[in-house]
Amino acid sequence: MAFLFNKFQEAVKVLAKSPTFAKDPRKMQFEADINRLFLYTCYNRLGRTAEEADVDEVIEMANKASVDDQQKQVQENIHSQTRNFSTAMDSILLSGPIEGDEAGGGSSKDVDAAPRRSGLSFAVGQRGPSSKHPAIPKTKPLSLAEVSLRLKESIGYALDLKPSQIPHEAAGTGLFVNGEVDVGTVIAFYPGVIYAPAYYRYISGYPRVDAKNPYLITRYDGTVINAQPWGSGGDTRELWDGSKLPENQPSSPSGDEKGSDRLWKTLSKPVEGTRISGGAGEIIERRNPLALAHFANHPAKGMAPNVMICPYDFPLTEKEMRTYVPNVSFGNADQVSMRRFGSFWWRTGSREGSSDVPIMKALVLVATRAICDEEVLLNYRLSNSKRRPTWYTPVDEEEDRRRWS
């Protein structure tokens, strides 16, 4: 298996320099990332019983398939892993005798009661959750720590938060894999509130949204995710709208910006008047052991990242999986859709018999090599056109430049 992985790694290096990628630097970097994700996630899907002929076939596909086709396959691979994760979580929280009542032990009165409103809800004109919303299913009264332990027993790994091993004061809390994962594995979900570009001005702290919030991240398409309201999760399944800041918020690094692909710009004048899609929020499992991607640190000088960001367009028609995707959309989520043909999902093109499916534009972290009981390290790719923190050492200056060109 090690020989086959080395073969994949060599293919990654060669294809990254392919002249077939777009000439536009930003698009070129996006396509190179998709190509790497295609190789990593396909390798993962082959499994440990893969033969050399299987690996050769995937490498050939990576050379010949269009970027769009590779992107479709990456989405399918990530969705397959998310489905397996959801099944494992169901077996932990729903199978067998279930004690307590709604929200993992809270009463229906607790579910219907409107929570204390935050500055965010006032700022965007929210009136609080509606009294009419779906009942929260009964689950086992397990804590997040207990769920994490059982998840490791089920899939072989979970995540821990511990003091980072990165040798600088701003590193703070680090994210660690507890167990073993193979290359191409979805390590973590980036949780929080999702903002399409049209809703930038509603981000909490506007207009200088990144001044006191290092937990903002952007996709290539401009979608921003704010993980600050998520904190480190919770101990219930609840109606969550992301409008309340957690009592125990993630500790922000002192002075310097910590985030990866952060929003390095000041936005224009704020406006008033919209809310989280759906108004009352979504039923979200806050005991999600993998919803901790925002704690991943950038590697120090001489260290290499072991994960990379992957955009994940979650189809909202997957109702049984929805509670395990730790995000809610701000604004009208139904304005974004993708198409499904067979087992593939994508956003462009049309064919007779296709169906538009609403999606949630999420992010996950994917392992770029096998990881065993190690800290998760993510290349932040901070813009080289702006002042960067003193602790930041570029992994690849050219990639940084292309990412923000």
Q: Work out the angle between the directed axes of helices 67-93 and 144-155 (0-180°, nearest 10).
A: 120
163's CB contacts (< 8 A; 6+ apart) are 172, 173, 174
The side-by-side arrangement of strands in the sheet containing 224-226 is: 216-218, 224-226, 192-195, 327-330
User: Which among 199, 152, 198 is positioned nearest to 176, based on CA atoms?
Assistant: 152
DSSP alpha helix (H) spans, 94-183: 102-105, 108-112, 119-123, 144-155
Is cis: bond before 167, omega within 30 of 0?
no
Give residue-wise pLDDT tens across range 86-114: 999 999 999 666 655 443 344 333 444 44
pLDDT at residue 195 tops 90:
yes
Specify the DSSP class assigned to residue 123.
Answer: H
Nearest to 370 by CA among 306, 327, 320, 317: 306
Q: What is the pLDDT of residues 263-321, one digit of tens each?
A: 433 333 333 444 555 556 899 999 999 999 999 999 999 999 999 999 999 999 999 99
Backbone angles phi, psi at 160, to 5 degrees: -125, 150
C-alpha pair distances (Å), 195 with each of 111, 227, 302, 355, 359 = 26, 11, 35, 24, 13
Beta bridge partners of 132: none
Higher pLDDT among residues 273 and 196, named by residue: 196
Structure tokens, 399? 């990639």
What are the pLDDT digits (tens) for 359-393?
999 999 999 999 999 999 999 998 877 788 888 99
The single residue listed with the structure tokens 């191409």 is 184
Please give the model's pTM, rounded to 2 decimal places: 0.79
Q: Which residue has the tokens 């590697």?
A: 299
What the block records as the tokens of 217 is 């991240």
